[in-house]
Structure 1
Amino acid sequence: MTTILLLVDGLRPDALSLVDAPQIERLMQRGSSSLHARSVTPSITLPCHVSIFHSVPPQRHGVTTNVWQPMARPLPGLVEQAKLAGKRCYFFHNWEPLRDLNRPEMLEFSFYQNTCYVPEGDLTIAEVAAQRIAADRPDFAFIYFGTVDVAGHQAGWMTDLYLRQIERVDQGVGMVLDALRPEDSVLLQSDHGGHDRTHGTELPEDMLIPWIAAGPGIRRNYVIQTDVTLLDTAPTLARMLQISAHPHWEGRCIDAIFET
């Protein structure tokens, strides 16, 4: 069984109703979703990702910009917990600062290529990820798509270029989904939204994100009624992976998405 965290950087949930994204729509129908999940402050990519993997806010981990610094109060993240449980973890990404999300020697495989500034760049990541996941069957894989965020910074959030880039990235989502087996699970989300040509504030346009989970034992076509934040991702993935959440994590597993 493989569990996937698929992250589309800068994807606003209200954009999904304005684009043709059949793969993301299919995932929502197959699983449980919220289009009102919340990011953290500051709603910036690296602080958000540290919060996603370590289930604490930036005020706790101390990473508040896109420049990495050692955590102010270190604690194990999702990958460290998975490694401790004997799980094999893979990373696929096209934004290099994400290499610092885990401690050394935690990953079995890591693929990085600087393609987030190329419109087709996420499809390259998707192709490699789909091939390796199908061949190697890791326990956990993180797949990061960065081009939607780049389109927002270049042209503005909710512009035509931004919306068309979501449709292009949806093809990459489909490539990953097609490589999975029925017993596999997926959690697709964003890290933050955006407004004008920027993000990082507490505006709803920056803070609201989609959060979609699907797989065996997860309720189908279900709209999550409880609050969801970035901090809840690691505890929920821990349940999917059948590993222990770290006791210092501040998020919670979204139990409502599970059938039992």
Structure 2
Amino acid sequence: MLEVISYRHGVLLLPEMQGAAQWNVRFWAVDRPENGVLRCSIMRSTRERRFKARQNMMASVREGFKRFSMIVAGLAFATLAVGNASQAVAKAKSNSAQPNKSASPTAQREQAEYVILIVFEGVGQEALRTGAMPVLSGLVKEGSVTWSATAVTPPLRLPTMASLLTGMPVEKHGVTWDSFDFIRGYPRPPTVFDYLDLSGGRDSAIFFMDESLYQLAKPEPYTDYQMCGPLKPECSPATVVQYIRDYFRKATSGHGYGHAILSLPHFLVVHLPEPGRAGLANGWGSRAYRDALRTVDRAVGSILDLYRELGILKQTTVIVTALSGAASPASSNGAAKPGADGAGVPHVPWIAWGAGIKAGHAIKQPVSILDTGATVLRTLGLDTYTEWESHAVEEIFNAPRPADMGAGSKGP
């Protein structure tokens, strides 16, 4: 038993603990400390024993450091040897390899950051034979093209545009009428604009030239719509081009002007139906029809000039298609010319040109206007995992589809 000098707040002080630096006290039981009695075990630890322990520890450290230094030296020598061997192999390969000088400038084009979708009416391959569309002829020559892409039935403006934007046939998106009907509301299926925002936060600007397409102008924070139709006497392709110029000027100003998009849109849709209207009203061989072809061709050229002025044309892909060909105008009064399957499905042009697109390529695989939406996403390096029936036309691209992009492509 040892006498406790004091016991306050758990602190014990014993007579033998004078010079506490020399003692290590292990308390294993306390018996009635109020009586001044404490049972404990005391182990004496002198400064000499501490010094010896410190010496042993330092010796162990020195031995470990010596072994570590030897290991590091061995690894450094091995790394140097491997590096010299790798340099020798690389030098040998460079001496024997032949430089690849055949890479075409087209193959080196970067991936598109912007897409323009031009949607004609009443334009087919025969329109180029008139000589009235030099801009479109240039896109055909320098891009990828098919003149037998399938549209939809019924061959009407509103149902066909709905299929183009939703990637669904008419029986699935349900838009079977051909005039704006406020009571029916907007189509329920998502559109390519929704997928662009969902997959990559891309914005869209849409310029329609018929009031019936109000049915598809569902307001979203990532879309801006402008309408210019027959109800406005001043409406023309030139007017639409001016709208686009004004819109781009405001989008790049930094002020917004009340638009949903405060920068250049990644996806621009331009509807140009004048040839179809002129052909239906005056005949497909009339002067009015040829003038309409020239007018929309100049409009396309002006849009390309705008992108060139902004310095983004080299990062842009242009897709051109039509809601109807010259022999099957997209109008409620027009009859569809039988397609290759004899089922009355119109055939329309489908052209791709610009960044990442093969030049001078004739598309061999079947193409539908339903494939336009997925091809737009593929062009921008995006992908979706949806139930729509739109598939990217892989054949038109210079570079193969990245491995990390999901399914949903249409290719050979």
**What TM-score does the superposition give when structure 2 sets the normalisation length?**
0.58
Query: Residues 248 and 106 from structure 1, CA distance in 2 versus in 1: closer, same or farther, beyond 3 angstroms?
Result: farther
Pairwise CA distance, 1:131: 4.7
Show the counterpart of 2:259: none
SS at match of 2:168: coil
Show the counterpart of 1:199: 334
> How big is each residue's C-alpha offset from its partner over 1:76-120, in whole Å with a ceiling of 9 and x where there is no partner?
110011122311111112212223325332544222223588697
CA distance in 2, matches of 1:246, 1:161: 45
Show the counterpart of 1:24: 136
AA aligned opposite 1:184:
T
Aligned counterpart for 2:145 among listed residues 33, 43, 46:
33
Residue 361 of structure 2 is aligned to residue 222 of structure 1: yes
CA distance in 1, matches of 2:345, 2:169: 16
Q: Which moved more, 1:151-160 or 1:229-238?
A: 151-160
Identical positions, percent: 25
The answer (yes or no) to whether the contact 2:186–2:218 under 8 Å persists in 1 is no
Residue 286 of structure 2 is aligned to residue 172 of structure 1: no
Q: Which moved more, 1:25-34 or 1:101-110?
A: 101-110
- Equivalenced residue count is 259
CA distance in 2, matches of 1:174, 1:110: 21
CA distance in 2, matches of 1:237, 1:106: 20
Unaligned ranges ≥5, structure 1: none
Pairwise CA distance, 1:16: 2.0
Pairwise CA distance, 1:130: 4.0
SS at match of 1:179: helix
Show the counterpart of 1:87: 202
Residue 155 of structure 2 is aligned to residue 49 of structure 1: no
CA distance in 2, matches of 1:150, 1:8: 11
**What TM-score does the superposition give when structure 1 sets the normalisation length?**
0.89
Q: Which moved more, 1:133-142 or 1:212-221?
A: 133-142
Q: Which moved more, 1:118-127 or 1:38-47?
A: 118-127
Unaligned ranges ≥5, structure 2: 1-112, 253-262, 308-312, 400-412
CA distance in 2, matches of 1:226, 1:199: 28
Aligned counterpart for 2:287 among listed residues 160, 170, 180:
160
* Bigger Cα Rg: 2
Pairwise CA distance, 1:128: 2.2
Show the counterpart of 2:387: 248
Pairwise CA distance, 1:27: 1.2
Aligned counterpart for 1:132 among listed residues 247, 251, 254:
247
The answer (yes or no) to whether the contact 2:363–2:396 under 8 Å persists in 1 is yes
CA distance in 1, matches of 2:295, 2:231: 13
Pairwise CA distance, 1:203: 2.4
> How big is each residue's C-alpha offset from its partner over 1:34-60, in whole Å with a ceiling of 9 and x where there is no partner?
111111111111110000011111111
CA distance in 1, matches of 2:168, 2:132: 34
SS at match of 2:315: coil
AA aligned opposite 1:94:
M
SS at match of 2:392: coil
Higher relative contact order, structure no. (Cα contacts within 8 Å, ≥ 6 residues apart):
1
SS at match of 2:226: strand
